[in-house]
């Protein structure tokens, strides 16, 4: 596996898991912890990763707001939320509109 392929897989895993340890990633990919640290260092130049110091080699976590493949609502789900939004007011309506803007197809 090339470094780019491994970095892509690390990014995919972190988007799913949201956080992991350097030690666990090294074991999973069959490389040393230093290799994972270099991969993470390279990924932080483009993606919102945050490194965490720790007793057992530390870890890395993905920013809460970042999703690689953001899930989309189906047309039926979007229609349901729009019907529910009619009864909302103030902050609740604003929140529903944000959800629709972010996840509606």
Question: What's phi and psi for 35, nearest 5 deg?
Answer: -60, -45
Instruction: Give me the domains of the chain, ranges plus CATH numbers.
Output: 3-62 (1.10.10.10), 70-105 (no CATH)
The Cα 100–Cα 73 span in angstroms is: 8
**DSSP, res 36:** H
Each residue of 30-59: b (16+ CB within 10 Å) or e? ebebebbbebbeebeeebebeeeeeeeeeb
Its pTM stands at 0.63
pLDDT per position in the chain (105 positions), as tens? 899 999 999 999 998 888 999 999 999 999 999 999 999 999 999 999 998 887 776 789 998 888 777 667 888 988 999 999 999 999 999 998 888 887 776
Q: What is the pLDDT of residue 86?
A: 92
* Distances, alpha carbon 102 to alpha carbons 30, 98, 99, in Å: 37, 6, 5
């Amino acid at each position: 596996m090339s470094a780019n392929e491994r970095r892509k897989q690390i990014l995919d895993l972190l988007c799913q898991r949201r956080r992991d340890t350097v030690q666990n990633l090294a074991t999973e990919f069959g490389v040393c912890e230093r290799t994972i640290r270099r991969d993470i260092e390279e990924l932080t130049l483009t993606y919102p990763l945050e490194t965490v110091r720790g007793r057992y080699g530390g870890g890395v976590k993905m920013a809460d707001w970042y999703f690689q493949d953001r899930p989309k609502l189906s047309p039926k789900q979007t229609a349901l939320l729009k019907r529910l939004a009619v009864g909302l007011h103030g902050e609740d309506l604003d929140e529903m509109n944000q959800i629709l803007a972010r996840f509606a197809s």
